[in-house]
């Protein structure tokens, strides 16, 4: 059995954030040991989570979803005890965070929830912000480790409250990027300069650090992942479920969730969540025009030049050209019954989903795929 060393930190999960937190810890003089489901050629990579428990007092968990968190803490459980502090960083359903803490505490170890805000660059520069839930003694023991990769450590309350706070802040983040994508679409459709819009936003009270980061990348369709579509979709699904459980109508959150779902269904789940802009700026502009007109109950029409234009009963709107395309050839009658869509990976298989939400989501997916099939038919 290897000799346990003091002041060691274990890291589980070497994704975008975990790998950079590891480097931040090493730069601050912490000796780190790491484990990842997929082996990585990095120093001090161990064979299993329980080996981290043997060598480290503080273990940080950077995994992506509810099932992964519960699986990891179950693997850790045989090797942990009173000397250990387990710090869980994923954004998951609050009840999942509570369940993970109970597994840890049954072994006599202590548990801190620490979801964070900040993406790849923040992690690289030690500028994450951690929202913390747990007992004060456990938080204070973990604080030096957390401060190595952050600019702030914000205590929220008991286990589960920090996760709720992170979900709430991500609701604002997702909505602001979706709103920016729609605004850019309108600017482009009306012939204004996208660059001028980006410049105008810099001096606008509604601007944010998020938009400063995302807008230039959305303009250039650069969707290199800093925070992926699939992870933001997961967070908006959690938010929607929480809203239903508290009898709240979260219309903006639902809209942001739906746009993320579209990108996930189209195979872009690993791209940055700002890829919601793709709906407006790439692909067939005619399809985008048709879908937009359909949503407002207006049939698509074309002018003599084959340009698809907006329409209202009794008149065409002059000067508003949504796309350029040749008029379609007449189609033979076809069966338009949509095939069942491929299921979105369920991040919450272990949790109960309200029946009304399942019905609502199923209806939304059928509507989306019906529209998609009609365009492709």
| Per-residue pLDDT tens digits for 29-51 | 999 999 999 999 999 999 999 99
Residues of the chain with pLDDT under 70: 1-6, 282-377
pLDDT at position 179 is: 97
Domains parsed from the chain with CATH numbers: 8-158 (3.40.50.720), 165-284+325-376 (1.10.1040.10), 285-324 (no CATH)
The pTM of this model reads 0.71
pLDDT at position 13 is: 96
Radius of gyration of the chain (CA): 24
Please give the backbone phi and psi of residue 272, each rounded to the nearest 5 degrees, phi first.
Answer: -65, 145
The per-residue pLDDT for range 308-327, each reduced to its tens digit, is: 344 333 444 333 333 333 34
Please give the DSSP secondary-structure letter assigned to residue 232: H
Distance, first Cα to last Cα, the chain: 64
pLDDT at position 282 is: 53
Where do we find the tokens 């379609």?
A: 328
Token pair in block for residue 31? 């000796």
Q: Report yes or no: 84 and 53 within 8 Å, Cβ to Cβ.
A: yes
pLDDT at position 372 is: 42
Cα separation, 161 vs 175, whole angstroms: 22
Q: How many Cβ atoms sit within 10 Å of the Cβ of residue 336?
A: 9
């Amino acid at each position: 059995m290897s000799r346990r060393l003091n002041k060691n930190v274990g890291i589980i999960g070497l994704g975008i954030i975990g790998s950079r937190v590891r480097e931040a810890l090493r730069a601050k003089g912490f000796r780190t040991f790491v484990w990842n489901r997929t082996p990585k050629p990095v120093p001090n990579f161990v064979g299993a989570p329980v080996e981290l428990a043997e060598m480290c007092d503080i273990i940080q968990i950077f995994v992506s979803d509810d099932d992964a968190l519960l699986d990891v803490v179950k693997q850790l459980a045989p090797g942990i005890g009173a000397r250990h502090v387990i710090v869980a960083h994923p954004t998951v359903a609050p009840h999942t965070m509570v369940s993970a803490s109970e597994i840890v505490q049954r072994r006599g170890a202590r548990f801190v929830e620490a979801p964070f805000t900040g993406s790849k660059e923040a992690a690289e520069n030690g500028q994450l912000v951690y929202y913390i839930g747990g007992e004060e003694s456990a938080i204070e023991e973990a604080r030096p480790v957390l401060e190595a990769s952050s600019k702030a450590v914000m205590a929220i309350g008991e286990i589960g409250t920090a996760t709720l706070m992170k979900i709430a802040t991500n609701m604002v983040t997702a909505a602001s990027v979706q709103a920016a994508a729609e605004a850019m679409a309108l600017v482009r459709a009306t012939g204004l300069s996208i660059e001028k819009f980006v410049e105008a936003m810099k001096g606008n009270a509604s601007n944010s650090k998020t938009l400063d980061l995302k807008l230039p990348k959305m303009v250039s369709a650069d969707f290199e992942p800093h925070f992926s579509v699939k992870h933001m979709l997961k967070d908006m699904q959690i938010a929607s479920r929480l809203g239903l459980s508290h009898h709240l109508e979260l219309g903006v959150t639902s809209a942001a969730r739906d746009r993320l779902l579209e990108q996930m269904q189209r195979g872009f789940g690993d791209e940055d969540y700002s890829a919601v802009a793709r709906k407006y700026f790439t692909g067939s502009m005619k399809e985008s025009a048709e879908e937009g007109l359909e949503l407002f109950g207006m049939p698509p029409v074309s002018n003599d030049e084959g340009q698809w234009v907006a329409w209202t009963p009794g008149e065409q709107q002059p000067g508003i050209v949504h796309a350029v395309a040749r008029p379609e050839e007449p189609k033979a009658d076809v069966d338009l019954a949509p095939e069942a869509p491929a299921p979105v990976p369920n991040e919450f298989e272990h949790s109960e989903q309200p029946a009304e939400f399942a019905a609502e989501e199923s209806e939304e997916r059928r509507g989306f795929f019906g529209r998609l099939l009609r365009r492709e038919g």
